[in-house]
Structure 1
Amino acid sequence: MQRGDGVDYIEREKLSTKSSIISIIVNTLLALFKILIGFFTNSMAILADGLDTATDILTSFMTLIAGKISNKPPDVEHPYGHERAETIATKVVSLIIIYAGFEVLISSIKRLINKDIIIDNVVYVIAIASISVISKFLLYKYRLSIGKKINSNAIIADALNMRNDILTSSSVLIGMFVLYFTGIWWLDSIIAILVSFMILKTGFEQFMESSNEFMESSPELKEIYNIVINEAKSCNCVKNPHKIRARKFGYKIFVDMHIELPPDMTVKEANDITAKLEEKIKEKNNSIRDIVIHIEPYGNAEKECFGINSDNIKDLKGE
C-alpha cells in the first residue's frame, strides 16, 4: 500500500526507524559528555545544553514509537489511519521540554543570586560545545531530509528542534570563549538562562502546533482551501464551493465540501463531474487522501453556519 508520493508504509517505517535510532545514538553520546563535563567543570551552561540534548533523546524515542504506530494502514477501528499518534507524541514531548526549560531557568537564577559560580577547565566546555555544533548540524540536515521525504511532521519538528540546538550550543561556545579570555564570573549563568529560554520557546511552539492539529487547525490548511476553491471554480458546471472543511492526520489530509450543480443533471453526470473535481484537487497536493463532496442544486438557500468558502477564506490565518 502506497502513499501519494510513492513511499509505501514499509519503506516509510524503515526510514523513520533508522533516522530515529541514529538520532538516539548521537544525542545519547552528546548528552552524556555534556552532563559529565558540566558536573566536572561546574558549568551550568553546558549542563543546561546537556539536559536540552537529553530531551532530544526522548523526542527521538517518542517519534520512533509514534512512527511505528502511525505507519500502520487504516483499519476498521481507525478508518482515518493512525497518524495522530505523531501528534500525541509531539504533545507529550513538548510538555517535557517545557518542564526541563523551567528547571534550568530556576537553577541558573539561583546560582546567579548566590554567586555560586566557579568554572574549572573551560577548555573542556569549549571542546564539547564545538563537537555538539557540528554533530547537531549534520543530524539536523539528515532528519529534515528524512522528514520531508516521508512527510512526517514529528520528524520534521524534531529536526527543527535540532536546528535550535545548534544555536544553543553555539551560544554556549561563544560564551565560553568570552569567559575563557575575560574571566567574567556571571557569564555562565547568563548563558544558561538564555539556553533555558530557547528550550522553553521550542517546547511552547511544539505544544501549540500539536494543539492546533488536535483542534483541526493548521496554517498549511489555507493552501488546501485555496486549491479546493480554485479547482471547483474551474470545473465545468460547478458553482459556489462552500462548507469546505479540511482536517490533518499526520501526513494525510481529508476534505469535506459542498458544491452546486444544475438541478436537472442526472446522478451519473453529477458523479462524473465530482469524480473529475476530486481527481483535479488531489493532483494539486498528494497529501489530500480523500474528498467527500455533497451536491446541492443551483441557488440552494441553506444557512451555512461553518466551513470555508470564497468569502471567508481571506479571514483564515495561514502561512
Structure 2
Amino acid sequence: MAIDNRSTVRRVLVITLLLNLFVMGLKGAVGFWTGSLSLLADAIHSFTDSANNVLGLVTSQLSSPQPDRDHPYGHQKYEAIGALGIAAFLGIACFTILEGAVERLLTGGAEVQIAAPELGLLLLVLGINIFVAFYERRVGRRIGSPILLADAQHTMSDIWVTITVLTGLLGIWIFGIQWLDVVLAFPVALLVFRSAWNVLRDNLPWLVDEMAIAPEAIHAVVMQVPGVLNCHSIASRGLLGRQVFVDMHLIVNAADVETAHAITEAVEARLEQHYHPVRVTIHVEPPSYEKEEISYEPQP
C-alpha cells in the first residue's frame, strides 16, 4: 500500500513559503536601495521559490497515493507535474535575468550603492536559504517526496545565486568595480538554468513511465521464492521509494489454484519487502508458456 505523506509535505511547504516570502522581500528591498541588477535578479529567483511553494501545496493536495474509481493507480503524478511547474518557473527567471543583464550592458545604468548594513542583510538571507534547502531535502528524502526534493534543489541554486551576488557586491563595496554587478548576472542565469534541467531530468521518467526497476533485479528476487519455475515479461514503472507498479508472467509448481495463489502471494510479499511500496500484478501461466526472455526487447 502506498504511504500518504501529504500532511508532512504541506507542513514543510507552509514553513518554507513564509521564509521564502521574507527572503524575497529583503532581497527586493536591498536591490532597490542599492540599484543592483544582480540582486534584483536574485529577488526574482526568490519570487519563484514562493510561487513554487504555493504550487507544491496545490499539487500535494491533489496527489493522494490511494486509488479511486477514476484514478485506479493513484494520483502521485500530480507531484511530478508540480515539479515540472517548478522547472518552468526557473526557465522564466533565467530569461528575465538574461534580458536585464543584456539591457544594462547595452544602455548602461546608475551606479550600485552598497554599504555594510545591506551586506549584513544579505548574509541573513543566505543563512535562511541554507536552512530551507537542507530542511526540505532532509524531509523529502525521508518520505520520498519529489516536490520537496525539487524545491530543495531550487533553493540550493538560490544559495549559489546569493553567494555569487554577494561576491559582486563585495567587489563593488571594497574596490568600486561597478561592472561586476552586470557580469555576475550571467552566471546567476546559468545556475538557474542548471536547476531547471536537474528538475526535468529527475521527474520526466516518472511521467513517461520509464522503467523503475531493472527486470533482471526483479527476476532474481522472484526466482528465490519456493514454487516459482519461471518468470518473464517483467515490466515496472513508477518511482522507487514512492510507488512502483510491477507486472509479470509467472509459472509456478502448483496442481491447484489455491497453491498457485499462495505462491503468488509469497512473490508479492518478497517484492514488497525489497521495493516498498509496490503494487504487483501477476499473470499465472501453464508450464508450456515458459520463456527465456525476462523482459521486453530494447527499442531499436
TM-score normalised per structure 2: 0.89
1:129–1:170 CA contact under 8 A, matched in 2? no
1:129–1:172 CA contact under 8 A, matched in 2? no
1:34–1:50 CA contact under 8 A, matched in 2? yes
> Kindly tell me: are residues 84 and 17 of structure 1, through their superposed partners in 2, closer, same or farther at Cα, counting changes over 3 Å?
same
- The partner residue of 1:215 within 208, 215, 240 is 208
Q: How is 1:92-111 mapped onto 2 (pairs within 5 angstroms)?
A: 92-111=85-104
Cα shift at 1:114: 2.9
Report the Cα distance in structure 1 between the residues aligned to 2:215 and 2:167, rounded to whole angstroms.
Answer: 45
> Kindly tell me: are residues 108 and 299 of structure 1, through their superposed partners in 2, closer, same or farther at Cα, counting changes over 3 Å?
farther
Matched, 1:201 2:194: yes
Q: How is 1:210-249 mapped onto 2 (pairs within 5 angstroms)?
A: 210-217=203-210, 221-222=212-213, 225-248=215-238
Q: How is 1:263-274 mapped onto 2 (pairs within 5 angstroms)?
A: 265-274=255-264
> Kindly tell me: are residues 41 and 297 of structure 1, through their superposed partners in 2, closer, same or farther at Cα, counting changes over 3 Å?
same
Match of 2:295 in 1: 308
Cα shift at 1:62: 1.0
Report the Cα distance in structure 1 between the residues aligned to 2:287 and 2:116, rounded to whole angstroms.
Answer: 76
Report the Cα distance in structure 2 between the residues aligned to 1:133 and 1:276, rounded to whole angstroms.
Answer: 52
Report the Cα distance in structure 2 between the residues aligned to 1:230 and 1:256, rounded to whole angstroms.
Answer: 15
Matched, 1:18 2:11: yes
Letter of the structure 1 residue corresponding to residue 158 of structure 2: D
Deviations 1:20-51 (A, max 9, x none): 11111110111111112112211111111111
Letter of the structure 2 residue corresponding to residue 244 of structure 1: I
2:251–2:290 CA contact under 8 A, matched in 1? no
Match of 1:136 in 2: 129
Cα shift at 1:117: 5.4
Match of 1:253 in 2: 244
Deviations 1:180-217 (A, max 9, x none): 22222211112111111111121232234332211112
2:246–2:281 CA contact under 8 A, matched in 1? yes
Report the Cα distance in structure 1 between the residues aligned to 2:122 and 2:215, rounded to whole angstroms.
Answer: 45
> Kindly tell me: are residues 129 and 176 of structure 1, through their superposed partners in 2, closer, same or farther at Cα, counting changes over 3 Å?
same
> Kindly tell me: are residues 199 and 124 of structure 1, through their superposed partners in 2, closer, same or farther at Cα, counting changes over 3 Å?
farther
Match of 1:173 in 2: 166
- Percent identity of the aligned residues? 23
Cα shift at 1:125: 4.6
The 10-residue stretch of structure 1 (227-236 or 293-302) with the greater mean CA deviation from structure 2: 293-302
Report the Cα distance in structure 2 between the residues aligned to 1:199 and 1:125, rounded to whole angstroms.
Answer: 23
Match of 2:24 in 1: 31
Matched, 1:86 2:46: no
Match of 1:296 in 2: 285
1:227–1:284 CA contact under 8 A, matched in 2? no
| RMSD (CA atoms) | 2.6
> Kindly tell me: are residues 225 and 303 of structure 1, through their superposed partners in 2, closer, same or farther at Cα, counting changes over 3 Å?
closer
> Kindly tell me: are residues 173 and 66 of structure 1, through their superposed partners in 2, closer, same or farther at Cα, counting changes over 3 Å?
same
Cα shift at 1:301: 6.5
Deviations 1:49-101 (A, max 9, x none): 11111101011111111111113632211111121111121122211220111
Deviations 1:209-235 (A, max 9, x none): 3322111126xx23x645422211212
1:37–1:124 CA contact under 8 A, matched in 2? no
Q: Give the secondary-structure state (helix, strand or coil) at the position aligned to 2:109.
A: coil
2:232–2:291 CA contact under 8 A, matched in 1? no
TM-score normalised per structure 1: 0.84
Q: Give the secondary-structure state (helix, strand or coil) at the position aligned to 1:120.
A: coil
The 10-residue stretch of structure 1 (293-302 or 78-87) with the greater mean CA deviation from structure 2: 293-302
Report the Cα distance in structure 2 between the residues aligned to 1:67 and 1:254, rounded to whole angstroms.
Answer: 21
Cα shift at 1:299: 5.4
Letter of the structure 2 residue corresponding to residue 84 of structure 1: K
Q: Give the secondary-structure state (helix, strand or coil) at the position aligned to 1:184.
A: coil
Q: Give the secondary-structure state (helix, strand or coil) at the position aligned to 1:119.
A: coil
Deviations 1:147-193 (A, max 9, x none): 23332111111112212221221122223222322222211112111
Q: Give the secondary-structure state (helix, strand or coil) at the position aligned to 1:202.
A: helix
Report the Cα distance in structure 2 between the residues aligned to 1:301 and 1:241, rounded to whole angstroms.
Answer: 8
Q: Give the secondary-structure state (helix, strand or coil) at the position aligned to 1:255.
A: strand
Report the Cα distance in structure 2 between the residues aligned to 1:265 and 1:105, rounded to whole angstroms.
Answer: 70
Report the Cα distance in structure 1 between the residues aligned to 2:176 and 2:231, rounded to whole angstroms.
Answer: 67
Report the Cα distance in structure 2 between the residues aligned to 1:121 and 1:173, rounded to whole angstroms.
Answer: 11
2:230–2:291 CA contact under 8 A, matched in 1? no
- The partner residue of 2:46 within 46, 53, 72 is 53
Cα shift at 1:108: 0.8
